[in-house]
Amino acid sequence: MNELATLTKEVKEPVSERLDVEAVRKEFPILKREVHGKPLVYLDSAATSQKPLEVIETLNHFYRTTNANIHRGIYLISEEATALYEGARKKVARFLGARSWREVIFTRSATEAINLVAYAWGRENVKAGDVILLTEMEHHSNLIPWQLLAKEKEARLEFIRFDNEGHLQLEDLDTYLKEKVKIVALTQMSNVLGTINPVKEITKRAHDAGAVVLVDGAQSVPHMRVNVQEIGCDFLAFSGHKMCGPSGIGGLYGRKEILEKMNPFLGGGEMILEVTLRDARWNELPYKFEAGTQSIADGIGLGKAVDFLNRIGLDAICEHERELVEYAMNRLNEVEGVKIYGPHDEERGSALAITLEGVHPHDLASLLDAEGIAVRAGHHCTMPLHQKLEVPATTRASFYLYNTKEEVDKLVEGLRKSKELFGI
């Protein structure tokens, strides 16, 4: 089998249901690194995941052997690049459970995907007085585009609240759906609280009321099985760099019937079928929404990341993270002064936002960094959420398939050392 066929072959689902974390770790070169003279403990996968060697080598191989623009060339390496890129799209479509590869649009990120919907769908369908319904836990990427649209169209922004445990109060959904709700846009998994929202149930209720649904899958798609047909959503945004893929690539799933009615988001080359000096006709899906030269290598790398996740198994990853988070929450509760935000039950994701009494989150992150532990500190692009929690910032540890209980122990040890340094 030649190298081109090797890169495009479909990887079968694994037979093992349990993740061999030590074997997985060997596939990530960066995990061999030392930081400040200590082994790297990477606990910031909610911000970006690390990359397995096969993804890195795929990028290297493309640039060394197959670098050419796609779709337009009738020479060999252009045709090879096109096959790899469109092969990656089909892998992503299967991964998400889409009905067709034409329902997957490659973008730079989940952020761009949401902006695409707010611009191309929202500006055509949202009118003055209509309701755009979000939640209080949304990332700024799923808030700012709708703020801009609401101001432009004189629409109303409303929000589903979350309770003290970080669960959505779905009675708010029912209340607002009695009004002119045009779209419900919400995260499937909070990047701070770790809450896993019941998007399937919310989608059904929204559709019964005549509303369209967009799911922000940036945090969910890397960690659990996500099937857009089972959810029933109209749109789903995702990000490649959070799912072991390269940065600069993400995507939008959209139902074909809706995408076909939407105008383009960007204008330029590739997204056209016919152009005159004063008019144009748009290309077919998904190319209508992919103007200009795309992130070709990154798209191919994303396809390889999908192969990798399929080989490891999403069920195995999800179970590993569930056990790890449960262990982490138990260990963190042993440290006096630590407060964990979000659900305390099993139905939560792998992001753990905490505060340590007497230590500012940024100071805590710096002290942990000195121990080789990489965590995130700040508002995590969720300022309204933190305003509701009445804290300016939190320190967030987020886990993925390559993290271990031993790394959790190092985190706990680092918290205790921080308390000693602050004399608390």
Residue positions annotated with a catalytic role? 381
Its sign, for the CA torsion 68, 70, 73, 74, is positive
DSSP assignment letter at 44: B
Torsion of the alpha carbons at 266, 267, 270 and 275, rounded to the nearest 10? 150
Under a CB-based contact definition with an 8 Å cutoff, are residues 424 and 357 in contact? yes
- Directed axis angle between helix 76-96 and helix 296-312, to 10°? 40
Query: How many separate helices (H) and strands (E) can be counted in the chain?
Result: 16, 17
The span from the CA of 212 to the CA of 185, in Å, is 8
CA distance 45 to 219: 9
**Cα–Cα dist 140/147, whole Å:** 10
Counting every residue, how long is the chain? 424
User: CB under 8 Å, gap of 24 or more: what pairs does 269-278 form?
Assistant: 269/293, 270/71, 270/72, 270/294
Task: Look up residue 421 and give its two tokens.
Answer: 């340094």
Kindly give the residue spans of alpha helices, DSSP state H, lying in 49-208. 53-65, 76-96, 110-116, 123-125, 144-153, 170-176, 199-208
Positive or negative, the CA dihedral 191, 192, 198, 202 is negative
Evaluate whether 158 touches 134 at the Cβ level (below 8 Å). yes
- Longest Cα separation, the chain: 73
H or E element that contains 326 = helix 314-332
Kindly list the distances between the CA atom of residue 371 and the CA atoms of 42, 238, 360, 417, in Å, as whole numbers in the listed order: 11, 32, 17, 9
What's the one-letter identity of residue 252? L
Residue 353: φ, ψ to 5°: -95, 130
